[in-house]
């Protein structure tokens, strides 16, 4: 059975975008990028909301065809295009080759099916999509960047309290910290922390 993992880079005060929708604050250094590369290689599929899909798809598919990228970026680009991608949207009519489109109303049913049929990590990207899948998420990974934004789009878009249990952490030389949590109520034992 697959595991659903919601992983994003966030500011110290919990935002995945600044107040203008920008994500430049979350650009990783090489060490953090390598950790993201390992996550990408471990993913059985990427599950994106429309906005994250649009910001990732063209950039990384184009990057995968370039031969002048730094090694760490090229590694991520190749893992990205090699991984099946599903975008959940009610506004998109078409998606590029290699991407599957699913309507938002069908997100819970589709991710439930994928979780049952997939033997790996299903990587969720996007706060709105994650909020709609909250009861299916097995792990929350926050790459906390050493910057505070004051306002923006939060990592958690919650309509209820969510009790979590810390299952691992990793501190990077840049001051970025990866925090790994699982739902605290009825959660299965987590795999050993690799860090």
List, for residues 30-59, the tens digit of each pLDDT value: 999 999 999 999 999 999 999 888 888 887
Looking at residue 69, its pLDDT comes to 84
Residues 4-21, mean pLDDT to the nearest whole number: 96
| Other beta carbons less than 10 A from residue 120's beta carbon | 13
Q: Where are the domains of the chain?
A: 3-183
Confidence of residue 189 (pLDDT cuts 50, 70, 90): very low
Q: Kindly indicate whether the domain formed by 3-183 is annotated with CATH number 3.40.430.10.
A: yes
Percent of the chain's residues with pLDDT above 90: 71
**To 10 degrees, the CA torsion angle through 136, 125, 154, 167?**
60
Decide: residue 33, CB within 10 A, 0-12 exposed, 13-18 middle, 19+ buried.
middle
């Amino acid at each position: 059975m697959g595991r659903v993992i919601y992983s994003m880079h966030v500011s110290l005060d919990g935002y995945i975008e600044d107040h203008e929708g920008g994500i430049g604050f979350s650009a990783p250094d090489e060490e953090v990028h390598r950790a993201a590369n390992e996550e990408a290689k471990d993913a059985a599929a990427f599950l994106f909301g429309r906005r994250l899909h649009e910001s990732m798809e063209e950039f990384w598919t184009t990057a995968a065809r370039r031969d002048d990228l730094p090694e760490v970026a090229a590694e991520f680009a190749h893992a990205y295009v090699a991984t099946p991608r599903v975008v959940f949207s009610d506004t998109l009519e078409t998606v590029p080759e290699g991407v599957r489109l699913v309507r938002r109303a069908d997100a819970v049913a589709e991710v439930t099916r994928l979780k049952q049929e997939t033997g790996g990590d299903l990587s969720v990207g996007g706060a709105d999509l994650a909020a709609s899948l909250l009861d299916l998420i097995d792990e929350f990974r926050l790459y906390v960047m050493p910057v505070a934004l004051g306002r923006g789009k939060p990592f958690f878009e919650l309509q209820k309290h969510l009790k979590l249990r810390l299952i691992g952490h990793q501190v990077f030389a840049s001051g970025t910290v990866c925090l790994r949590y699982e739902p605290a109520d009825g959660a299965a034992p987590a795999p050993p922390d690799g860090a």
